[in-house]
Amino acid sequence: MSDAVPVPDETLPVDRVPQPPVSPGHHRAGIALALFGAIAFSGKAIIVKLGYRHGADAITLLALRMLVALPFFALMAWWARRDGLRFRLRGSDRWKVVGLGFSGYYLASFLDFAGLQYITATLERLILYLTPTLVLLIGVALFRRKPAVRQLLALAISYCGVALAFAHDLQVGGDAIALGALLVFLSALSYASYLVGSGEVVARVGAVRLTAYASAVAAGFCLLHFLLARPWHSLLELPPEVYGLSLLNGTLCTVLPVLATMMAVQRLGSALASQIGMVGPVSTIVMSLLILGEPMGPWQVAGTVLVMLGVFVVTRPAR
């Protein structure tokens, strides 16, 4: 599943948007949870890159990630029903959950993992952070929503930032960088489509249930993809390091940050949680330098600053 910045809901009137608790304890806990979620999500790219160094491929790493995460999301689905109320998906909702699980969790994750074979973790993170801008563009194209001037300015700033980082990496990696950047951009677009299409379903199903159900659907697609592309016993022939990395990826970089981000949004609201979540690109830069030894030039630093500035403007609620 992807790990983009939460997008504030600007479709409801201010008096109908649920307000988070205002106690200092809730606020501090929300900030800590949002920071942890952003940093833990950022570690996913680092772990995937390390998995490639041990000879694993994209679909194998993705299948292992979903195998590890699936029991936890099944537990989330059970926990969401702890109130004892009987809940059943409507027929139309079942197909919507399947579609959302395919686009938001399976397809977005596979394209992301595939793109990481060719580009640095830093460039991958910057492209994924364009997701709020893609949500805005989808709204303009499909729903005829008129963007504000500040949003158009944010779009220009964000994409200039990605262009700077992309141009720097393109000089080093050539055509492979272009392919990897395209795959990750399509991943961000797939997840943006999930965000746009999930609003109506979330209102009926609930965020926790939808996350649990969609992840189960995605796990099925991931395992089917793996079985069609690789012999099943190849999962048993991997280096021990790959299993350890997949365990970390499925728990520390998938399940725990999902829960932490949900809890942060409950305490802070989606707008403030998304602002704090912008520490993600910075943490990716630090980890890629310290763990992967990836080079970092001034153009990448400048691109990171521009992307973060643009996303800050896009995700800031309208007054």
SS3 per residue for the chain: CCCCCCCCCCCCCHHHCCCCCCCHHHHHHHHHHHHHHHHHHHHHHHHHHHHHHCCCCHHHHHHHHHHHHHHHHHHHHHHHCCCCCCCCCCHHHHHHHHHHHHHHHHHHHHHHHHHCCCCCHHHHHHHHCCHHHHHHHHHHHHHCCCCCHHHHHHHHHHHHHHHHHHHHHHHHHCHHHHHHHHHHHHHHHHHHHHHHHHHHHHHHHCHHHHHHHHHHHHHHHHHHHHHHHCCHHHHHCCCHHHHHHHHHHHHHHHHHHHHHHHHHHHHHCHHHHHHHCCHHHHHHHHHHHHHHCCCCCHHHHHHHHHHHHHHHHHHCCCC
Residues (pLDDT < 70) of the chain are: 1-26, 82-89, 173, 271, 316-319
- pTM of the shown model: 0.85
Do the domain assignments include residue 146?
yes
Contact call for residues 96 and 209 (beta carbons, < 8 A): no
pLDDT value, residue 11: 35
Do the domain assignments include residue 242?
yes
Do the domain assignments include residue 12?
no
pLDDT value, residue 15: 35
pLDDT value, residue 136: 86
Please calculate the CA angle 6-183-154 and round it to the nearest 5 degrees. 45
Q: How far is 265 from 256, CA to CA, in rounded Å?
A: 14
Structural domain boundaries, residue 36: 23-315
Counting the structural domains of the chain, the total is: 1
- Residue 25 class from Cβ within 10 Å (0-12 exposed, 13-18 middle, 19+ buried)? exposed
Taking the CA atoms of residue 70, residue 116, residue 38 and residue 286 in that order, the dihedral angle to the nearest 10 degrees is 140
pLDDT value, residue 289: 87
Q: Which of 106, 113, 112 is nearest to 216 (CA)?
A: 106
Do the domain assignments include residue 50?
yes
Do the domain assignments include residue 310?
yes
Taking the CA atoms of residue 8, residue 12, residue 13 and residue 19 in that order, the dihedral angle to the nearest 10 degrees is -50
pLDDT value, residue 184: 95
pLDDT value, residue 116: 94
Contact call for residues 64 and 235 (beta carbons, < 8 A): yes
Do the domain assignments include residue 166?
yes
Q: Sort residue 205 into left (φ over 0), alpha (ψ -120 to 50) or beta.
A: alpha
